[in-house]
Amino acid sequence: LMRSSAASDVYKRQIQIPIIGNGDITSPQKAKEAFDKYGVDAVMIGRGAIGRPWIFKQIKHYFQNSPNGDINIEGIQGLMQHG
């Protein structure tokens, strides 16, 4: 993940492509943190799924039942199509 939300804000203003968070996404809470803290458009899960292929369902369930209404559900749905 990007280490600074200020840096991600600069990148998002300068380029017109989706920003995908990558690294240390090992739980639904960390996926949400990537969206909230870093402003990513989607997340990529690698090692977090090794030995835990159900993490995709856990993340989907977490976001679908999240009380926070500003989640980028389209990014999550795109992720789920490939999971």
25-59 pLDDT tens trace = 999 999 999 988 888 888 999 988 998 999 999 99
pLDDT tens readout for residues 3-33: 556 666 666 677 778 888 888 899 999 999 9
| 21 Cβ contact list (under 8 Å, min separation 6) | 1, 2, 31, 34, 35, 38, 40, 42, 43, 44
- Tell me the CB-side half-sphere exposure of residue 62, using CA atoms within 13 A: 15
Total-model pTM: 0.64
Q: What is the DSSP letter of 69?
A: T
